[in-house]
Structure 1
Amino acid sequence: MIYCLNPNCEKPLNPDATFCQSCGTQLISQLRNRYRIIQPLGGGGFGRTFLAEDEDKLNEHCVVKQLAPQVQGTTALLKATELFQEEARRLQQLGEHPQIPTLYAYFRHDNYLYLVQQFILGQTLRQELRQQGTFSEEKIWKLLSELLPILKFIHEHQVIHRDIKPENIIRRSPREDLVLIDFGVAKQLTATSLQQTGTTIGSFGYAPIEQMKYGNAYAASDLFSLGVTCFDLLTGIHPSHLYMEHGYGWVMHWRQHLKSPLSAQLVQVLDKLLQKDMEHRYQSADELLQDLHQKPQPASIPRDFSLPQPPSRINPRQSVFPSTVLQPRIQLKHKLLAGGIILLLGLGGYIYWQSLGHIPTLSGHWGDVNSLAFRREGTTLASGSDDKSVKIWNLNNRQEIRTLKGHKDIVYCVAISPDGQTLVSGSKDNTIKIWNLKTGKEIRTLKGHTDWVNSVAISPDGQNIASGSYDNTIKVWNLNTGQELQTLREHTSAVLSVALSSDGKTLVSGSADRTIKVWNLNTGKVLRTLTTHSGDVNALAISPDGQMLASASDDKTVKVWKLNTGKEIRTLVGHSADVNAVAFSPDGEHIATGSDDKTVKIWNLDTGEIIDTLKGHSGKVYAVAFSPDGKTLVSGSHDKTIKIWQLP
């Protein structure tokens, strides 16, 4: 079947033929000999949208938009054409963000303009509202935390979306992340545009007064529309109906439409978003993100406050991790103090506290946080992300120092040299980049892997790099010259993790072939192969003294081994999903692990007991790292954030 592309055709679906059987227009089987139209997805205004197949990408689905303006007059037609072209420019500019559709092509064919973009499989929030009913407060907090980094990104690129509403937000399947679509009315915010009155554009009820009355749009305008979107999803009431009856007066009384009470914190946030006067609103996504980070977290404390049975051996340093007290059979009383702190009282005085409030969070990445590495002084942290960047953070003030850009795809791994001068990153673009950590300048790019680079490690003397790749190999490089020294090829599937011993003589690798290999780094020979994991080996860590190895796997377990013999010491069971990350504490007495179950766990290595389970991430945890002094643990997640956990 061939779909007729004449916008005025009443029966556009045709059998294979040369001309449309309804309107007589010549049929096009493939636009540009590449894009085959399958079915219409919708239309209106100045464009029609189709689902199509891209023959050059093995018939991958894509979206084709056709400029078919249903407007009269030369001025209106020119404006429609301008907006269509602007949408293509915006997608080209912003499409590198994983939660904004990518532009594939923009061209003219038979006097019509076409735009081809990425197809997002999923459903809009409007469809979700109809199927599942109104959103809970928890879902609104999650919506804000996921959508604000996207708005921050487009605003930093001087683009205002101008049409934020449930129809233009898709929850992608199966990843369940949010994607912002339809940049057909997006506006480039330039010095010139700030001085001009623009065209009135947007959706009634969602767009603020400065946009609808004067044609002006700013970051605060999109944030108003975001607030209206939250109201719509919370109440199920379409704001256009309220707008038609009350104009912008309805935003002063939005709370009267709530079906159930909201927390004071969310009411305060929505009140500030829904201000009629722009100067009283949040002025930036960053400003709102700061308020989101102050949202109280629920505490998980047992009702009777009984403590677990103690392990056979107690180390004093273990006794005050944030949510478990390893003291023998003490029944505790609790007291709520100012600032949301619970103080537990037991024999011998105050032995434990837990903050119920804010978990310090670093936000700035707009993709998954895959890897974390501390500088030796302990206040500088590096993070690698799906957004193709590496960010450097100051943990003292919790501020971003700089962003390193140069990779063309996801950054899976980062490592910092022992002297703190150099950072190494590995990427899905098959390369390793070496950076000057102080200046953020790229020193060189190492090319040699033929597939994704999943893991990098730097030798203790700072001379060599080891890298593991989806090409099933490990490569060893000279850090100073970039020379490839050797390639190790014993794995039969992707190498997911590499680690180097403290003496620099032993290399360990974990693979999707479910094995761990221990190598003599000097000779490149395999010393032993460890085979008891029943799933991919995602992460490895060697203890500071070089005696123990920890491995994390898709089989939901962590295994601890004697490194010099390969003997399995114990298997740690407690996560309910794949374990993605593992790290030793600096004293070598504990390990931390991160999992698809969205938790971080801290374990006692002597006993194999879980000391603490840290909850706060809303997505899978991909990275964990201890600070050099052991007082701080950081974790990176699919939720695009880094959590900072303070340890006693």
Structure 2
Amino acid sequence: MRHWPPGQQLHQGKYLIEEILGGGGFGVTYRAQNRKEGKVVAIKTLNANVQGKPNFREFQTKFVNEALSLARCSHPHVVQVYEVFPEMVGNIELWCMVMELIDGIDLASHLEDNGLLSEAKALPIVQQVGSALSFVHQQGFTHLDVKPQNIMLRQRGLEAVLIDFGIARQVTAPGKLRTNSNSGTECYAPIELLERRAELGAYTDVYSLTATLYVMLTGELPFPSQFRKQNIPLTPPKQFKSEISDRVNAAIMKGMELEPQNRPQSVQEWLDLLVPKPVVLPSPKVSPQSAQKSFETPPKPAHPDTARVISVLGINYINLENLLAAKKWQEADEETRRVMLKVASREQEGWLEPESIEKFPCEDLRTIDQLWLKYSDGRFGFSVQKRIYSSLGGTRKYPEKAWENFCERVGWIKNNQCLYYTDLTFSEKAPEAHLPAAWCRSKAGEVRGSGWMWWFFSRVETCKV
């Protein structure tokens, strides 16, 4: 069998092949229709070349293990595997892997079409892929072929998804040597991938992810590691593009250290060099009965020129930033509510409560606030709302009158009536601190807080937002 033609039915008619999407040295991927569910999927299987090899069964076993490995890696930035099934092709039982079909293009094509990326656009993509790799490593696997061709960008929001685990394998015990049969793409491959016997680990993917960022920012391929071993130094990325910050330049040079032991030993360790994590202050132990102290009223903050997009949970804020940049205020407000519920694991409940607010990560709270500040010219955001609430006498004890005055000031109450969410003003002409609002929307659709509202502003203060 060379390839399945369009119209070929698989898995007892459940899937209908539409076209070939592409292939590599071992596999071929098809676009197919799931006829039972009415959705489009990708189906990957071993190609005709591998089917004719004498050790086909060995390749098939590795392929099935890949599918099972991916099925264990349920992460927003890892391609999703739906199922695996065998299909008879003549006298060969050929296993197929059904995957999510990503609506978008790969990072390599995006760079080719759009040119270099700025740090502001490149770092969120790298952070998303980094969070995926960290998760994969926690499951006991390495990717071993991270490169722009294996990073898809969803059409909506340029959300990154790591694909093609065709050479992924289980990580053996630390320090154990094993024969390596894959060289990867040489400019992205660390020295241990290009040697016959090597110790492979998370630091292997660190090198490849760093090399990917190198290309994203400079447009230049780094010298292959086997050449660097012959005393050809790696050119610092800042020499190609002076706008690259010293911090990012240093993180790239560290992540691409030739010897594995000199690199960060985990992806998160490298990400912390790239974008240092803010200090997380402990939440104060305050009860509604004993808390009497008024909030400090900070001066009006200047809106940031750049927003640091950081999430300790790997939450994707690209769509929120794109909506805010496009001044789509209502869509951005709804997206704010969605990501906040996701951070707090309250998507089913649909609302926040004091315990989830107290545990809300400061990094994520700051990220959401800074994005709103940046794109509203400092008019909207949690920090703006907290500043106004404090200026009106708002305290941790939740004085009802202060809250009512706050709601009137920001335009959530008019003529002594709480507005419904749909009646808010979703434009830059709205009163200061009018948005975001969906995070405190009641079940009835009103935008009005209850007795737990002081918990949220307490968290805003604790996190120094």
* 1:427, distance to aligned residue in structure 2 (A): 3.6
Matched, 1:545 2:399: yes
Q: Partner amino acid for 1:364?
A: L
Q: Residue 90 of structure 1: which of 44, 53, 69 is its match?
A: 69
Q: Which residues of 2 match residues 244-259 of structure 1 at below 5 A?
A: 252-255=234-237, 258-259=240-241
Q: Partner amino acid for 1:101?
A: V
Q: Which residues of 2 match residues 160-199 of structure 1 at below 5 A?
A: 160-191=142-173, 194-199=176-181
Answer whether contact 1:359 1:645 (CA < 8 A) is retained.
no
2:202 — aligned with what?
A: 219
Other structure's SS at 1:107 match: strand
Q: Residue 99 of structure 1: which of 77, 82, 85 is its match?
A: 77
Listed one character per residue, the Cα deviations across residues 462-515 of structure 1 (whole Å, up to 9, x for unaligned) are xxxxxxxxxxxxxxxxxxxxxxxxxxxxxxxxxxxxxxxxxxxxxxxxxxxxxx
* 1:68, distance to aligned residue in structure 2 (A): 1.8
Q: Partner amino acid for 1:150?
A: A
Matched, 1:53 2:33: yes
Listed one character per residue, the Cα deviations across residues 606-632 of structure 1 (whole Å, up to 9, x for unaligned) are xxxxxxxxxxxxxxxxxx98658x665
Other structure's SS at 1:185 match: coil
Listed one character per residue, the Cα deviations across residues 102-151 of structure 1 (whole Å, up to 9, x for unaligned) are 21121221222211111111111101111101222322322332222111
Q: Work out the CA distance in 1 between the residues paired with 2:304 and 2:238.
A: 34
Matched length: 368
Q: Residue 63 of structure 1: which of 42, 55, 70 is its match?
A: 42
Listed one character per residue, the Cα deviations across residues 563-617 of structure 1 (whole Å, up to 9, x for unaligned) are xx6366x97534798743249xxxxxxx999xxxxxxxxxxxxxxxxxxxxxxxx
Q: Work out the CA distance in 2 between the residues paired with 1:456 and 1:631.
A: 14
CA 248–102 in structure 1, closer or farther in 2 if over 3 Å, else same: farther
1:519 — aligned with what?
A: none
Q: Work out the CA distance in 2 between the residues paired with 1:257 and 1:67.
A: 43
* 1:355, distance to aligned residue in structure 2 (A): 11
* 1:261, distance to aligned residue in structure 2 (A): 4.2
Listed one character per residue, the Cα deviations across residues 191-246 of structure 1 (whole Å, up to 9, x for unaligned) are 2893433433422221111122125421000010011111222232344x756866
Q: Residue 566 of structure 1: which of 413, 417, 422 is its match?
A: 417
Other structure's SS at 2:166 match: coil
Q: Work out the CA distance in 1 between the residues paired with 2:26 and 2:406.
A: 56
Other structure's SS at 1:57 match: coil
Q: Partner amino acid for 2:413?
A: V
Other structure's SS at 1:581 match: helix
Give the share of equivalent positions with the same residue, in percent. 22
Answer whether contact 1:412 1:454 (CA < 8 A) is retained.
no
1:262 — aligned with what?
A: 244
Answer whether contact 2:128 2:314 (CA < 8 A) is retained.
no
Matched, 1:633 2:460: yes
Other structure's SS at 2:156 match: coil
Answer whether contact 2:104 2:152 (CA < 8 A) is retained.
yes
Q: Work out the CA distance in 2 between the residues paired with 1:53 and 1:13.
A: 13
1:300 — aligned with what?
A: none
* 1:86, distance to aligned residue in structure 2 (A): 2.3
Q: Residue 438 of structure 2: which of 580, 595, 604 is its match?
A: 580
Q: Work out the CA distance in 2 between the residues paired with 1:231 and 1:249.
A: 20
TM-score computed with the length of structure 1 as normaliser: 0.49
Q: Residue 155 of structure 1: which of 137, 162, 168 is its match?
A: 137
* Bigger Rg, which one: 1
Q: Which residues of 2 match residues 298-337 of structure 1 at below 5 A?
A: 320-321=298-299, 323=301
Answer whether contact 2:145 2:185 (CA < 8 A) is retained.
yes
2:388 — aligned with what?
A: none
* 1:97, distance to aligned residue in structure 2 (A): 0.9
CA 116–247 in structure 1, closer or farther in 2 if over 3 Å, else same: farther
* 1:157, distance to aligned residue in structure 2 (A): 1.2
Q: Which has the higher contact order (CA 8 A, sep 6+)?
A: 2
* 1:319, distance to aligned residue in structure 2 (A): 5.8
Q: Residue 38 of structure 1: which of 18, 23, 28 is its match?
A: 18
Answer whether contact 1:168 1:181 (CA < 8 A) is retained.
yes
Q: Work out the CA distance in 2 between the residues paired with 1:133 and 1:576.
A: 38
2:369 — aligned with what?
A: none
1:455 — aligned with what?
A: 351
Answer whether contact 1:165 1:206 (CA < 8 A) is retained.
yes
Q: Work out the CA distance in 2 between the residues paired with 1:93 and 1:550.
A: 51
Matched, 1:206 2:188: yes
2:97 — aligned with what?
A: 115
TM-score computed with the length of structure 2 as normaliser: 0.66
Matched, 1:284 2:266: yes
Q: Partner amino acid for 1:560?
A: I
CA 458–131 in structure 1, closer or farther in 2 if over 3 Å, else same: closer
Answer whether contact 1:37 1:52 (CA < 8 A) is retained.
yes
Answer whether contact 1:65 1:114 (CA < 8 A) is retained.
yes
* 1:32, distance to aligned residue in structure 2 (A): 3.0
CA 253–289 in structure 1, closer or farther in 2 if over 3 Å, else same: closer
Gaps of 5+ in 1: 1-5, 17-27, 297-315, 325-353, 370-385, 391-409, 415-424, 429-452, 460-541, 584-590, 594-623, 635-643
CA 249–232 in structure 1, closer or farther in 2 if over 3 Å, else same: farther
Of 287-296 and 148-157, deviating more is 287-296
Q: Work out the CA distance in 2 between the residues paired with 1:253 and 1:413.
A: 39
Q: Partner amino acid for 1:178?
A: A
CA 255–573 in structure 1, closer or farther in 2 if over 3 Å, else same: same
Q: Residue 134 of structure 1: which of 116, 122, 127 is its match?
A: 116
Q: Work out the CA distance in 1 between the residues paired with 2:295 and 2:220.
A: 54
Answer whether contact 1:265 1:295 (CA < 8 A) is retained.
no
Q: Partner amino acid for 2:417?
A: G
Listed one character per residue, the Cα deviations across residues 311-338 of structure 1 (whole Å, up to 9, x for unaligned) are xxxxx977633626xxxxxxxxxxxxxx
Compare the two structures and name the one with the higher strand fraction. 1
* 1:158, distance to aligned residue in structure 2 (A): 1.4
1:236 — aligned with what?
A: 219
Q: Work out the CA distance in 1 between the residues paired with 2:308 and 2:45.
A: 47
Gaps of 5+ in 2: 279-293, 319-334, 356-395, 442-446
Q: Partner amino acid for 2:166?
A: G
Q: Work out the CA distance in 1 between the residues paired with 2:69 and 2:117.
A: 30
CA 69–592 in structure 1, closer or farther in 2 if over 3 Å, else same: farther
1:485 — aligned with what?
A: none
* 1:256, distance to aligned residue in structure 2 (A): 7.8
Answer whether contact 2:237 2:244 (CA < 8 A) is retained.
no
Q: Work out the CA distance in 2 between the residues paired with 1:174 and 1:358.
A: 20
CA 254–216 in structure 1, closer or farther in 2 if over 3 Å, else same: same
Answer whether contact 1:543 1:549 (CA < 8 A) is retained.
no
* 1:155, distance to aligned residue in structure 2 (A): 1.1
1:646 — aligned with what?
A: 464
CA 118–97 in structure 1, closer or farther in 2 if over 3 Å, else same: same
* 1:267, distance to aligned residue in structure 2 (A): 0.9
